[in-house]
Amino acid sequence: MARPEYQAPPEVFYSECEARKYSQNSRMIDIQVQMSERAVELLALSDEPHFLLDLGCGSGLSGSVLEDQGHTWVGIDISSAMLDVALERDVEGDLLLGDLGQGLPFRAGAFDGAVSISALQWLCNADKSSHHPAKRLYTFFSSLYACMNRTARAVFQFYPENSDQMELVTSQAMRAGFFGGVVVDYPNSTKAKKFFLVLMSGGAAPLPKPMGESEEKEGISYTSKREQLKKMRGKPLKKSREWILEKKERRRRQGKPTRHDTKYSGRKRSGRF
Ligand SMILES: C[S@@+](CC[C@H](N)C(=O)[O-])C[C@H]1O[C@@H](n2cnc3c(N)ncnc32)[C@H](O)[C@@H]1O
């Protein structure tokens, strides 16, 4: 089947029907969450909460990974149907409808980092006669460079169609002022192979190590049990009472309507109705 970018422009392809899959299809949800977790790992943030951007935030699955790790985020997406799903999911991030190819409307140096999951390849396509992919990528990367602070990284999981596309994307990012390159996880696996463009705004640093370079097995999970436990240390278990109370506290700090805490908050339901 043709790649999604060849089927329709993103604001059309990500229709209500496509957007629904991001709240109903557990396999799609799992993949988005796994790739987002890996992107956050590649951001190499310090332990404090940070102010992050989600570029092509869609239904907010990737944003939820950011908020679960204690960060505050702002998301931008071109599809109103995808953003409607994010609103239904009641995500904590602020959402903006906009086209990355027209540049980002944020204050200089505002963000500590940015993630983007499966969106960047869309910018390599010309959907209108006025679209020039190299120019759109440059406009996007320059505005991203401007709104990030000088220690920040941006990590993009993306699906380059070929080496020319990879070259197009990286050359426009470097032209805009970034350092960095592409990290390929599980390079020997057709199913698990994933491309992450890691951009640094404050000077050159060694690229992070790819995962699974020597793995031949397909469909390997991103984080081994040991690594997962290491990451979780000191953080409340997802959906536990403590996790729910922390999440509610963050919402209150953001001035969002939040129910009072009671002795019933986070209790396990019996499953019977
Ligand atoms: C695979 S989805 C990402 C889903 C998202 N990570 C989530 O948690 O739901 C790719 C997203 O990129 C967005 N996108 C594609 N081209 C875009 C553009 N030029 N500007 C803004 N968003 C774009 C699409 O609308 C879509 O929501």
Cα of 56 from ligand 1 centre, angstroms: 4
Tell me the CATH number for domain 4-235.
3.40.50.150
Closest ligand 1 atom to Cα of 99: 20
Round to whole Å and give the CA distance between 270 and 272: 5
Q: Which residues contact 229 (CB under 8 A, 6 or more apart)?
A: none
Q: Which residue has the tokens 């939820």?
A: 64
Closest ligand 1 atom to Cα of 61: 8
The DSSP letter of residue 105 is -
Q: Which residues contact 19 (CB under 8 A, 6 or more apart)?
A: 58, 59, 79, 81, 82, 84, 85
Closest ligand 1 atom to Cα of 63: 8
Phi, psi for 112 (deg, rounded to 5): -90, -5
The DSSP letter of residue 207 is P
Closest Cα to residue 181, out of 159, 207, 157? Answer: 207
Residues with CB under 6 A from ligand 1: 10, 14, 22, 32, 56-62, 77-79, 82, 99-101, 117-119, 122-123
Helices and strands per DSSP (H, E), number in the chain: 10, 7
Question: What is the pLDDT at residue 178?
Answer: 98
pTM tops 0.95, yes or no = no
Cα dihedral 248→252→255→256 (10° resolution) = 20
Cα of 119 from ligand 1 centre, angstroms: 5
Question: What is the pLDDT at residue 269?
Answer: 66
CA 264 to chain centre: 33
Per the CB < 8 A criterion, the answer to whether 52 and 67 are in contact is no
Cα of 251 from ligand 1 centre, angstroms: 25
Ligand 1 pocket mutation pick from 34, 78, 137 by most atoms within 8 angstroms of CB:
78
Closest ligand 1 atom to Cα of 14: 25
Domain range list for the chain? 4-235
Closest ligand 1 atom to Cα of 79: 25
Nearest CA to ligand 1 atom 5: 58
Residues of the chain where predicted confidence (pLDDT) is lower than 70: 215-238, 269-273
Cα of 226 from ligand 1 centre, angstroms: 32
Question: What is the pLDDT at residue 249?
Answer: 82
| H/E run at residue 201 | none
